[in-house]
Amino acid sequence: MKFTCPKNEITKAIQINTKAISNKPQMPILSGIYIHAENNILSIETTDYDIGIICKITANVQEEGAIVVPGRYFSDVIKTLPGDTIELSSNNEQNTITIKSNTAKFNLLSMSATDFPKIQKLESDNNITIRSNILTDLIRKTSFACSSEMVRPIFTGCLLELNNIELTMAATNTHRLAVKKEIMDNNDITVSSKLIIPAKILNDLSSLLNADIPINIDITYSHNQISFTYENIYIVSRLIEGQFPDYTNVIPPNFDTVATIQTHDLQEAIDRVSLISRSNQYNIINLDFTAENLLLSSNNPEIGKAEENISIKLNGQPINISFNAKYILDVLKYIDTDELNFSFNQPTTPASIKSINDDMFIYVVTPVRQNK
């Protein structure tokens, strides 16, 4: 195999593909990057069996063929090469590749392409198309609420519900819940499904979809897999098996007390007050709501105390309630309005945080019991 291609194109493709390389691969071949050169197209593939990625770029292919290159070293070499063009050739007899760019030359050991588990594209009649800006908004406003612990895998993923033209994504770690809804701009869609997608692949996908101009993402899914296709990129992932809990039961139908607060003021105050509680295991801050003020406080016997007052508008009875500060700060990043509604019933029952006049996004968080 022998080809030349622009350095920036292959570098970008390799960076995307490394998201499907495990830090602890099940077998050595999975630490590699599969490159197939044919008809002036490079097909670059990686997989860890849970996720598979294919990127295609154009190249000047002098000799067609396929090779598996060592993923980490190949990525590092490509990024640091001095020229604008990469020339790569392989020697199958010696199991090596030669990489040239400007004045630099590298020789790396390679692996046999026949040993690589080729990615099979998902074939299914279940297909939808969604704009990238809609998909990223669903992801960023929910995936942060997932659990990072694999003890209960179902909570490490986001539930995607497709119900005709309405899309709903929900995520929970059992202490908090984030639910975001969107209306599809394609009213011809008449599917209804529930899929649990690993948060990791969603976050990786969201980080790739950062273009200013929205593009179409083609989604195909089966009972145990889902794929995302756009431009020259194909990503396929396993779905998480199991029954996602009925999250609608967690959302209180109404609230006795609603505080309207400036989003920025709340975010800044919690950030400061939690400096004292942050080293504590539960990072607890206390919120004392009165008619026109919110007193935020934290106490750590080994460090000290912190207090701060901010102005609010309270509709309902005063309430004193405590939370894990991180669980409040996390959602404030995704409140898009200057003001928010912080709603409560009792000091021990779930509270909610919502943007003003936005019924498409809700966050529900469980308070921390206070020691009397």
pLDDT one-digit tens code per residue, 74-115: 999 999 999 999 999 999 889 999 999 999 999 999 999 999
Q: What's the average model confidence in pLDDT over 325-337?
A: 96
Those residues with Cβ within 8 angstroms of residue 263's Cβ, 6 or more apart along the chain or in another chain: 332, 335, 337, 338, 339, 340
What span, in angstroms and rounded, lies between the C-alpha atoms of 71 and 283? 39
Q: How confident is the model at residue 25 (pLDDT cuts 50, 70, 90)?
A: confident
In degrees, to the nearest 5, what angle opens at C-alpha 118 toward C-alphas 114 and 124? 155
In terms of DSSP H, where are the helices of 35-115?
A: 71-80
- Average pLDDT of the chain is 94
pTM of the model: 0.93
Residue 365 pLDDT more than 90?
A: yes
* C-beta neighbour count of 238 within 10 angstroms: 15
Task: Answer whether residue 282 shows pLDDT above 80.
Answer: no
Identify the structural domains of the chain with CATH numbers, from first to last. 2-115 (3.10.150.10), 127-248 (3.10.150.10), 251-365 (3.10.150.10)
